Amino acid sequence: MGAATCALNPATCVGGVLKGGASSLFTLLVAWVVGSVQWIVHGLAAVLDSTGNPGQVLAASRGEFSALVPLAPVLLVIGLAVATLQALRHGDSGALWRAYLGVAPACVAGVVLARPVGRLVLEAVDQASSASAAHVATHVAALARFLAVVPLGVPGAAVGMIASLLIAGSMLVWCELVLRTLALALLLAVVPVVVPLCALPSLRRLGWRLAETFAVVAASKLVIVVTLALGTSELTTPSMATVVAGAVTLLLATASPFALLRLVPVMESTALAGLEGLRARAARAAGVPGPGRLRGLVPAPEIEDPGPPERPADLGIPMWEGAGEVSLPEWDPDAPRPAPPVVGERPVRTGHVAYLRDRLGPVVGWHWDD
């Protein structure tokens, strides 16, 4: 019957064979994707333990850190010299005390204690992450059992799409943890170069920014683990709707560290610069001319130069009127001289206060009685 049908209508027979082959191929592809999801999701817990280990980060940065340590004293001396010249130029003795008794010891302590303090911070973050990821393994095992037995009525295309979302989220989390390890190793390696530059007055905040960035990048693992725990808890619910919500949550776990990095002041200043650029582009798109264009479009008003003010002869202060010329008697050398003053007790002259008035107002004077 089948052979006769194929002989009478070969196109239908060929179409049926191709349809059956495509269906089998798609079923095998979905099964392969689901099997890959099980392997990747099972390895998430091991990835969280293997990447970001404090010993691994310190070992990766040991060689570069040791190679850059000899540059730290040279940079510190240069920074102190610049700070000294600037303090002497401005006459600020307090800046000298701060540079030599505050900043210089802090730079030395920062270079010496960078690796031990970094180990303590990473170990604290790992312990908190382990406590938060205590139930991740259980949820992952339940997820593997749920994906192994697909409920009836679920199309294969939907299962393949959900499995692809899970694979993408898992790989992004894996790559993000690897990049986190590299970033932590890089931040530790550049400590001998960055910290001594804090002796320069213009780079005084550079060391704090480095410490803040290291703390935020180290804490990003805790945020990833918490978000991953929420995502895997949603993935274990026996419902396709909750599985989709859990897959999206797993993808959001890769974006959670970027939200944490916005707390760093460097990122805030970059965001402000970006907003300034957006505002300038919006102004250009709206056709609002800038100050340079307005300067060329609007002519400057012509203002007559008044010139220097006229200086009066008396400087604006009224002068006292003089009494006129006074004639003096001619000197006669043969004339008798006046009697010399009486030698003895000095005569006492008496007088009283006289209140007079002239054209400028009241005047207080003195009138002798004799």
> b/e per residue, 236-253, with b = 16+ CB within 10 A?
bbeebeebbebbebbbeb
Structure tokens given for 347:
């005569």
Which pLDDT belongs to residue 147?
60
Q: Residue 327 pairs with which residues in a beta bridge?
A: none
Domain boundaries, the chain: 50-281
Which pLDDT belongs to residue 272?
46
Which pLDDT belongs to residue 120?
92
Which pLDDT belongs to residue 117?
92
Which pLDDT belongs to residue 8?
52
Crossing angle, helix 206-235 and helix 265-286, to 10 degrees?
90
Q: Rounded to an integer, what distance in angstroms lies between the CA atom of residue 369 and that of residue 354?
A: 11
Q: Are 40 and 160 in contact (CB under 8 A)?
A: no
Which pLDDT belongs to residue 46?
67
Q: What is the 3-state secondary structure (H, E, C) of the chain?
A: CHHHHHHHCHHHHHHHHHHHHHHHHHHHHHHHHHHHHHHHHHCHHHHHHHCCCHHHHHHHHHHHHHHHCCHHHHHHHHHHHHHHHHHHHHCCHHHHHHHHHHHHHHHHHHHHHHHHHHHHHHHHHHHHHHHHCCCHHHHHHHHHHHHHCCCCCCCHHHHHHHHHHHHHHHHHHHHHHHHHHHHHHHHHHCHHHHHHHHHCHHHCCHHHHHHHHHHHHHHHHHHHHHHHHHHHHHHCCCCHHHHHHHHHHHHHCCCHHHHHHCCCHHHHHHHHHHHHHHHHHHHHHHCCCCHHHHHHHCCCCCCCCCCCCCCCCCCCCCCCCCCCCCCCCCCCCCCCCCCCCCCCCCCCCCEEEEEEEECCEEEEEEEECC
Q: Rounded to an integer, what distance in angstroms lies between the CA atom of residue 253 and that of residue 230?
A: 9
Q: Residue 362 pairs with which residues in a beta bridge?
A: 357
Q: Residue 355 pairs with which residues in a beta bridge?
A: 364
CA distances for 37 relative to 26, 101, 163, 168, 171, angstroms: 16, 59, 6, 10, 10
Mean pLDDT by 10 residues, the chain (370 residues): 54 54 61 67 66 78 88 90 87 84 89 91 85 67 60 62 74 80 89 89 84 85 78 62 68 69 52 48 51 52 74 64 71 79 73 85 84
Structure tokens given for 247:
């897959």
* pTM, 2 dp: 0.59
Q: Are 223 and 96 in contact (CB under 8 A)?
A: no
